[in-house]
Amino acid sequence: MVVSFSVTNRVPKNRASLSTQQRRSEVLRAIVSDYISLQEPVGSKMLLDRHQLGVSSATIRNDMAALEQDGYITQQHASSGRIPTVKGYRHFVDGIHAVKPMSMPERRAILDFLEHGVDLEDVLRRSVQLLAQLTRQVAVVQLPDMRIGRVKHCELVHLSTHRLLVVLITDTGRVDQRNVDLGEPLAESDLPRVRDLVNHSVVGLTLEEACAKIASLAQEARSKTVPAELRPALIAVATVLMETMVERPNDRLILAGTPNIARVGELTPVLEALEEQVVVLKLLSGVRDMGIQVSIGEENEDEELRSASVISTGYGAENAVMGGLGVLGPTHLDYPGTMSKVTAVAHYVSRILAGE
């Protein structure tokens, strides 16, 4: 079941029975919620007008002063309201614990859009396009590392007497296509023989094992232990396959929604990090499971991301994480909504990869 997150206060309805700590926690959640919604400093009058806190304005001001002293909120100017700090956002995010099912139309719309992907890369491209549209932030997904899968099939397509298309498919759903230029012509009737030799050697093996096996097959062709009419094509196909297998396709990102944060001046370093990709790849490579992860501002290890929040999770099949998927945005982004949408999209990507 796909779920969305909501903020539940878990406090008694009778606020008079709240402890000071509970009341201040409720005040803090109200400040963070209002700042995320309005993106302007929050004052005591605003809190009293927008929330039924059940205490006097003097008590609210005292609570805000205590929260500021403890580092949960800060005041930009002497006469301004308060804004949350990273510590305040963290308290808010850690309080997001209750879940509720997504609506059927939302679930149907997500699945319908993703199911129209023609292959794994298209599904992932659609996933970030959808996330960027849903969250109005930057969405990013890491292409899976082919080395975690096994070769399912290698198809050869005859394009001309001097050119083939080789299609490598793994059991994780990864598909790589490469052209093979032939030095000598190959009869179309001989193509199945080359394909069978390749598949007999590599199907069921990991990429590392398959690379070693295909190298041995190429060596056999050079030593003339395969029919002469197949040797040039087999050597050419083996060379392209080895190049494909030793590449690191997980060192690639698909991005969507960059214009969504281009207008936020404080996120200029984030845009630069997105262009270089290294920082974001490092972040997504650290995703180890399907659980949601939230990294806020200064919690981010890399300096380029310390003005941003990152909400990420893993996607995959059969409990095996194939890559990371997430959203980057300002620290005042909508945490409950964004966490819900990242979780939902990752869930459906995983379902599609599992063939469900």
Q: Where are the domains of the chain?
A: 20-95, 104-145+250-354, 147-246
Q: Which fold has domain 147-246?
A: Enolase-like; domain 1 (3.30.390)
Q: Are 340 and 134 in contact (CB under 8 A)?
A: no
Above pLDDT 90, what percent of the chain?
Answer: 37
Which of the following CATH numbers is that of domain 104-145+250-354: 3.30.450.40, 3.40.50.720, 3.40.50.2300, 3.20.20.70?
3.30.450.40
Residue 323: name the closest of 142, 104, 107 by CA: 142
pTM over 0.95: no
Sign of CA dihedral 99, 319, 166, 179: positive
Dump pLDDT digits (tens) for 113-142.
988 887 778 889 999 999 999 999 999 998
Q: How many CB atoms lie within 10 A of CB 93?
A: 20
**How far is residue 250's CA from residue 145's CA, in Å, rounded to a whole number?**
4
Res 345: pLDDT: 92
Inter-CA distances, 243 with 60, 199, 216, 235, Å: 65, 17, 14, 12
CA–CA gap between residue 82 and residue 67 (Å, rounded): 10
Specify the higher pLDDT residue, 87 or 145: 87
For the domain with range 20-95, which CATH number is right: 3.40.50.2000, 3.10.20.30, 1.10.10.10, 3.40.190.10? 1.10.10.10
Residue 7: pLDDT band with limits 50, 70, 90? very low
Cβ neighbors of 131 (< 8 A, separation 6 or more) are 137, 139, 256, 257, 325, 327, 341, 342, 345
| Cα dihedral: 282, 288, 293, 298 (round 10) | -30
Mean pLDDT value of segment 168-181: 82
* Predicted confidence (pLDDT) per residue in 201-259, tens digit: 999 988 888 889 999 998 888 888 888 889 999 999 999 988 887 765 555 788 998 88
Question: If pLDDT is split at 50, 70 and 90, which confidence band does 274 have?
Answer: confident
For residue 68, give every residue at least 6 positions away whose Cβ sits within 8 Å of its Cβ, in sequence order, or none: 74, 75, 82
Mean pLDDT of 46-62: 88
Residue that is written with structure tokens 């052209």 in the block: 179
**Mean pLDDT value across residues 328-332:** 92
Do the first three CATH levels of 104-145+250-354 and 147-246 match, i.e. the same topology? no
pLDDT at 72 over 90: yes
Q: What is the pLDDT of residue 318?
A: 62
Q: By the 8 A CB rule, do 274 and 306 touch?
A: no
Residues β-bridged to residue 206? 150
Average pLDDT over residues 258-262: 83
